[in-house]
């Protein structure tokens, strides 16, 4: 009596995941280029949809020009002394930018908790002796602009007061060069969402092809 037995091995996804891809797997990956290209396009569409459904906050930027006047503060060209002078004054001014006085004033004016201001709503970017950029994020572009402008103005007033009191070197000069009609843009551009979505789904597609796709096998005896 002829007996036919068909055995189909059970698919073990964990085994495939932790096993190294073979040469055949890599060949299959190249053959399935249409699949992962479509996956990348689909991911970009998903990223664009997320951007328009739940867009990132607006970011405004105000600028204060800071001139430490190294030539006047240290007439003798001693690099080490200039470095320590610049580092010391920069640290003082950064501390003023995030000080309780400055944050409390902004918190009272905009009804925003100080914890939120320091927790990511405000961002300071300073290259030492040049333009200091004061960023503010908010879902309302007008509030973001007003907050960034107020932070830059308040910072300048507080630093100037410290200069007058002798707490900061007298040769330091500040000028608010951009506090009106500020540049405003989304904190994360649309291109960032497109790239993230495309890369995410492309990675997922490659992962599926290499590790998740079951390998069917049958024996007939």
pLDDT value, residue 214:
52
87 versus 135: which is more confidently predicted?
135
- CATH code where residue 94 lies: 3.30.1890
Same domain, 176 and 194: no
Q: What is the mean pLDDT of residues 13-22?
A: 52
pLDDT value, residue 32:
67
27 versus 93: which is more confidently predicted?
93
Q: Examine residue 118 and state whether it is found in any structural domain, yes or no.
A: yes
Same domain, 97 and 74: yes
- Full domain range(s) for residue 16: 6-53+190-220
Same domain, 123 and 99: yes
pLDDT value, residue 74:
63
- For the chain, the domain total comes to 2
Q: Examine residue 215 and state whether it is found in any structural domain, yes or no.
A: yes
pLDDT value, residue 129:
62
pLDDT beyond 50 at 221: no
Q: Which of 29-38, 74-83, 140-149 is predicted most confidently?
A: 140-149
Same domain, 209 and 167: no
pLDDT value, residue 75:
57
Same domain, 182 and 93: yes
pLDDT beyond 80 at 212: no
Q: Examine residue 1 and state whether it is found in any structural domain, yes or no.
A: no
3 versus 101: which is more confidently predicted?
101
The string of pLDDT tens digits covering residues 64-115 is 999 887 777 665 656 666 677 788 888 999 999 999 999 999 999 999 999 9
Q: Examine residue 207 and state whether it is found in any structural domain, yes or no.
A: yes
Q: What is the mean pLDDT of residues 183-198?
A: 87
pLDDT value, residue 99:
95
Q: What is the 3-state secondary structure (H, E, C) of the chain?
A: CCCCCEECCCCCHHHHHHCCCCHHHHHHHHHCHHHHHHHHHHHHHHHHHHHHHCCCCEEEEEEEEEECCHHHHCCCCCHHHHHHHHHHHHHHHHHHHCCHHHHHHHHHHHCCCHHHHHHHHEEEECCCCCEEEEEEEECCHHHHHHHHHHHHHHHHHHHHHHHHHCCCCCCCEEEEEECCCCCEEECCCHHHHHHHHHHHHHHHHHHHHHHHCCCCCCEEC
The pTM of this model reads 0.71
């Amino acid at each position: 009596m002829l007996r036919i037995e068909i055995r189909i091995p059970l698919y073990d996804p964990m085994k495939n995941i932790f096993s190294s891809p073979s040469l055949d797997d890599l060949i299959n990956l190249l053959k399935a280029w249409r699949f992962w290209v479509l996956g990348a396009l689909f991911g970009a569409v998903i990223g664009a949809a997320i951007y328009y459904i739940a867009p990132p906050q607006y970011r405004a930027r105000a600028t204060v020009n800071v001139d430490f006047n190294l030539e006047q503060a240290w007439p003798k060209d001693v690099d080490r002394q200039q470095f320590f002078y610049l580092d010391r004054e920069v640290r003082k001014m950064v501390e003023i930018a995030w000080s309780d006085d400055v944050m409390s004033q902004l918190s009272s004016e905009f009804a925003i908790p100080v914890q939120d201001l320091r927790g990511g709503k405000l961002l300071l970017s300073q290259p030492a002796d040049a333009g200091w950029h004061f960023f503010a994020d908010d879902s309302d572009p007008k509030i973001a602009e007003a907050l960034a402008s107020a932070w830059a103005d308040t910072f300048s007033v507080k630093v100037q007061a410290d200069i007058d009191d002798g707490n900061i070197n007298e040769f330091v000069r500040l000028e608010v060069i951009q506090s009106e009609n500020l540049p405003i843009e989304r904190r994360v551009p649309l291109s960032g969402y497109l790239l993230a979505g495309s890369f995410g789904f492309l990675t997922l597609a490659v992962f599926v092809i290499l590790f998740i796709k079951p390998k069917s096998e049958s024996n007939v005896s």
